[in-house]
Structure 1
Amino acid sequence: MEFFAVLIAWGAVQFWGSGAIVQSDDWFVALRRSLRKINGAVPRLLLTLSPLLLVALVLFLLGPILFGLPAFIISVVILLYSLGRGDFHIQLRLYLNSWQRGDLEGARRHGEYFDPELRTGAENALQLHQAVRKGVFYHGFERWFAVVFWFFLAGPVFALAYRLLFLIARHEDSEQRERDMAFQGLYYFEYLPARLLGFAFALIGHFDRCFPVWRQLSVAELPSDDYLDQLGATCLPGVSAEEAQDDSAFLQRASDELQAAQQMLSRSLLCWVGVMALIELF
């Protein structure tokens, strides 16, 4: 059933561009505000994650009803909610349009979707490109693959847990202690799915060159964004130092690299969807 839920969610995202129709976080903001008076980061974090218990109870109670159809529908809604925010493809296209025109300030503004730290600016075009490339790899991972991995492996409660930790880690009202704990939780949630997605990078890219790097990086204690960017950059043609000195050549090659990264993400995701289909069959 999980695989059919993934297919429905994938079709919905293709139609809407995102899961935005069910991705209102107003309830989460209200919950966070109601917990401000509670002392201690650990109790606040645990209470913020309390909706997981409610979801688990509802799914358990609805499981036997109407052959599990109500529970299945709720699972699809939870999966859609747990997917990443915003339209990844449109945001990348807006960035590339500005980049290809040589409008680096416009590209920086659009690039904030992939790396919010770009609000403080990048020293040069190369740093801007590298920051956005890193953000493209990570957002392609967290918005879909990490969520679907946990949904398929352990069910909707784990997919929702991943998204709530992600929101807590990046919520402006979160205290530093809460952010640190949420990021630590994300590290463990992302460790295995990031390595599996990286393996698909190695298969789809130049295997002889990428597989040794995958094997080396996969045992390193790297955050998922650094891990995916270092491995992904190895599997792409890349931009040479000489090209970075030539504005026109650099703009074109950097644009080609990001489009190649998008294509590699799409092929890697389809690769693992195929694996899920085989697991479901056998």
Structure 2
Amino acid sequence: MVFLAILIVYGVIQYGDGGRALQHDQWFYRWSQWVTNLGLPGHELIVSFIVLVPVLALALALNIVAGISSWLLLVCAVPLLLYSLGRSELSTPIHEYVAAYRRNDNVAATEIAISLGVEVDDDDGWWALHRGMLQAAGYLGFERLFAALFWFVLLGPVGAVLYRLLALTCENQESSSELRHTAARALWLMEWPAVRVLGLSFALSGNFVGCFNHWREELLGYRRSTASVLETAIHGALNVNSTDVTQEDITEKELEALLPLLSRTMILWLCILAILTIVA
């Protein structure tokens, strides 16, 4: 069921709208506001209530569905996984940014970088923008697809939805900064194993030696953010030839190579899952 659901979702991503028709989050924001207004003690308890109540309700419903039919469970799992995917589109901003760079349009490139969450200073040159874009785009690729798939494989639709609801809590601007910070810590814990599995996957689908060396150094680390760890793995996979990467080492070519790297890694995962499904 897991492999078939992921295969269907991959087809929707490639040839459909990527699940955007299902990605309506107002219900969750209204629920979050209602829970926050209850005045529960402690931000940890509030975040737990916001996220775990709908997840536990979903787990109960899926358990009932599984008892009826495994095919019916598959019918439910596909839209749930599509809902769990990230909301950001990646390929278009990268292509537009590279086009802006090649026509030396710093204003347009800066606007695109800001739209992806890159922190831009007035004094930033192209190299700083390139590195910020590579880190932001790498994380968005991970957050949009691979993290949700990782938890879907481990825990089924419940794991994927849990990850997405935590991510939505972090992004909810109507929540307090303390609440979002608490959710971000929980999200980092969920991302910790997923980003290391993805880093190893990058080694297999990119420059193995460079990526594996970086991956091994970060394997048991716990101080760096997900985006920072992922950036290091991407540098190795794309053969950026520096242990301490400087801004001048990053060019638009690495940005263009990022999308094929993500695609190859996705195909690698599909092949691994297919083999595991056949063996099992």
* TM-score, normalised with respect to structure 2: 0.89
Q: Distance in 2 between matches of 1:151 and 1:259?
A: 28
- Contact 2:81 2:148 (C-alpha < 8 Å) held by counterparts: yes
1:220-254 deviation per Cα after TM superposition (whole angstroms, max 9, x unaligned) = 2222110010121123244999994xxxxx9xx72
Q: Distance in 1 between matches of 2:205 and 2:12?
A: 26
Structure 1 residues 47 and 185, CA, compared in 2 at 3 Å: closer, same or farther? same
Which residue of the partner structure matches residue 169 of structure 1?
A: 170
Structure 1 residues 122 and 268, CA, compared in 2 at 3 Å: closer, same or farther? farther
Offset of residue 114 of structure 1: 2.6
Which 10-residue stretch deviates more, 91-100 or 137-146?
91-100
Offset of residue 199 of structure 1: 0.9
Which residue of the partner structure matches residue 108 of structure 1?
A: 110
Q: Distance in 2 between matches of 1:68 and 1:214?
A: 38
Give the AA of the match of 2:57: L
Give the AA of the match of 2:8: I
What is the identity percentage for the equivalent residue pairs of Structure 1 and Structure 2? 30
Which residue of the partner structure matches residue 16 of structure 1?
A: 16
Give the AA of the match of 1:261: L
Which residue of the partner structure matches residue 156 of structure 2?
A: 155
Which residue of the partner structure matches residue 78 of structure 1?
A: 80
Q: Distance in 2 between matches of 1:26 and 1:92?
A: 28
Map residues 24-103 of structure 1 onto 2, 5 A cutoff. 24-39=24-39, 40=41, 41-49=43-51, 50-65=53-68, 67-103=69-105
Which residue of the partner structure matches residue 205 of structure 1?
A: 206
Give the AA of the match of 2:262: L
Match of 2:257 among 239, 251, 260: 260
Q: Distance in 2 between matches of 1:205 and 1:137?
A: 14
RMSD: 2.3
Q: Distance in 2 between matches of 1:90 and 1:55?
A: 34
Offset of residue 121 of structure 1: 5.5
**SS of the counterpart of 2:179?**
helix
Query: Gapped runs of 5+ residues in structure 1?
Result: 245-249
Q: How many residues align?
A: 273
- Contact 2:214 2:233 (C-alpha < 8 Å) held by counterparts: yes
Query: Gapped runs of 5+ residues in structure 2?
Result: none
Match of 2:226 among 213, 224, 240: 224
Structure 1 runs (4+) greater than 4 angstroms displaced: 239-244
Which residue of the partner structure matches residue 180 of structure 1?
A: 181
**SS of the counterpart of 1:64?**
helix
- Contact 1:96 1:255 (C-alpha < 8 Å) held by counterparts: yes
Match of 1:275 among 268, 272, 276: 272
- Contact 2:55 2:161 (C-alpha < 8 Å) held by counterparts: yes
Q: Distance in 2 between matches of 1:6 and 1:115?
A: 28
Which 10-residue stretch deviates more, 69-78 or 19-28?
69-78
- Contact 1:217 1:231 (C-alpha < 8 Å) held by counterparts: no
- Contact 1:91 1:110 (C-alpha < 8 Å) held by counterparts: yes
Offset of residue 161 of structure 1: 0.4
Structure 1 residues 170 and 213, CA, compared in 2 at 3 Å: closer, same or farther? same
Q: Distance in 2 between matches of 1:172 and 1:165?
A: 13
Structure 1 residues 188 and 102, CA, compared in 2 at 3 Å: closer, same or farther? same
